[in-house]
Amino acid sequence: MDQQQRRVRYLRVSLTDRCNYRCTYCMPEEGIEHRHRDELLSLEEVVRLCAVFARWGVERVRLTGGEPTVRKGLVSLVTALRQLPTPKGKLEVVMTTNGERLEALAESLARAGLSGLTVSIDSMRPDRFRQITRRGALARVLAGIERARAVGLGTIKLNTVALRGFNDDELGEITEYAWTRDMVPRFIELMPMAAGRLFVPGELMPASEIRSAIATFAEVAELVPDEARGIAGLGPATYWRVPGGRFAGRRLGIIAAMTENFCNTCNRLRVSASGQLHACLARDEAGDLRGALRSGDPGALEERVRAVLGAKRERHGFALDGTGGPRKAMISIGG
């Protein structure tokens, strides 16, 4: 593999384009046209694909979706992926989930070797939580988080899309909930997906405002950049630390795709549930890995990956007026 491919250490694999929630910023209310079952990568194909990326130097795979916990066979998949060799050891497997099924699954996932979890939670108020997810029940997610902590499911992070006029008054509360449980809160700027077909009950909250809100909550003048920049700097989040006071040393992450562009350091690749390889979340362009995997030609996959990496543009096209994003919804690409 060439230099560019070696830089890619982190792969996100979407297991499904289905979800038991319908978050307003992720999916249009009418839903999306789901792929036919044959069009999805089988779990055996997911393992084969990850084995190739692991050989090329990918150290960690994040299972996502849609909602990964709605895919049958998830636990066995984690077990199989954990066996895959990488140049540095065994493949690490983590997952992003809405947490709805976590209470039932946490223990088996921990036993299968899942080593980290990100749970999305946009509000600590049941009515708001329901409004933003259209389907979710906050109490179930909180119970899932407690279960995951109890079974020692690695590092747990929370993902919150920060929305002015919706949850900007509870960022401190969410942060405190995370910090008092040794979890890392992460705030995400709203990205304009699905070509304007989404109605979101709030607006983009810029990273600078998020930091001020948390600094005020933590009673410090400002947050300071955290040198570690997250676990081995693998993701797009920047990490910030509280320099003093009662929360001294606590960290939070910010994913600021809109106002603090990180394209120049982005080493992310995303494979959709149907095997489309996206080098950028903000663009519809993708390379078809499913065809390459099913062709039986061992060189075809490498060629397709090279083509996608070669076509990776300098920057995403997201604009602050909400234009420039992909036609696809987040749920179709895999967040």
If the CB atoms of residues 122 and 170 are measured against ligand SF4, the closer one turns out to be 122
Q: Which residue has the tokens 């980290």?
A: 116
Q: Of 17-25, 110-118, 247-255, 281-289, which part binds ligand SF4 (CB under 6 A)?
A: 17-25
Containing H/E element for 287? strand 287-288
Nearer to ligand SF4 by C-beta: 51 or 95? Answer: 95
Identify which of residues 8 and 200 has a Cβ nearer to ligand SAM in the complex. 200
DSSP secondary structure of 207-246:
HHHHHHHHHHHHTSS--EE-TT-SGGG-SS-EEEE--SGG
Establish if 239 lies at the interface with ligand SF4 (CB under 6 A). Answer: no
Binding site for ligand SAM (CB under 6 A): 19, 25-26, 64-65, 67, 96-98, 120, 159, 161, 188, 190-191, 193, 330-331, 335
Q: Which is nearer to ligand SAM, 86 or 160 (CB)?
A: 160
274 lines the binding site for ligand SF4 (CB under 6 A):
no
Considering the complex, state which of residue 86 and residue 97 has its C-beta at the smaller distance from ligand SAM.
Answer: 97
Angle formed at CA 300 by CA 299 and CA 303, multiple of 5 degrees? 90
In this structure, are residues 161 and 122 in contact, taking their beta carbons and an 8 Å threshold? yes
Residues 104-123 that bind ligand SF4 (CB under 6 A): 120
If contact means CB under 5 to 8 A according to the sort of partner, which of ligand SAM, ligand SF4, none does residue 27 touch?
ligand SF4
Which of 9, 13, 15, 22 forms a contact with ligand SF4 (CB under 6 A)? 22
CA–CA dist 8, 53 (Å, integer): 9
**193/161 Cα distance (integer angstroms):** 13
Task: Number of residues interacting with ligand SF4: please give it, by CB under 6 A.
Answer: 13
27 belongs to the binding site for ligand SF4 (CB under 6 A): yes
> Minimum Å distance from CB 327 to ligand SF4?
17
User: Mask of contacts with ligand SF4, 56-75, x by CB under 6 A?
Assistant: ---------xxx--------
74 SS3 class: helix
Q: How far lies 137's CA from each of 21, 99, 127, 142, 180, in Å? A: 10, 10, 9, 9, 22
**Beta-sheet pairing, 89-90 with 92-97:** unpaired
Residue in 80, 82, 102 with CA at minimum distance from that of residue 90: 82
Residues that bind ligand SF4 (CB under 6 A): 19, 21-23, 26-27, 65-67, 98, 120, 330-331
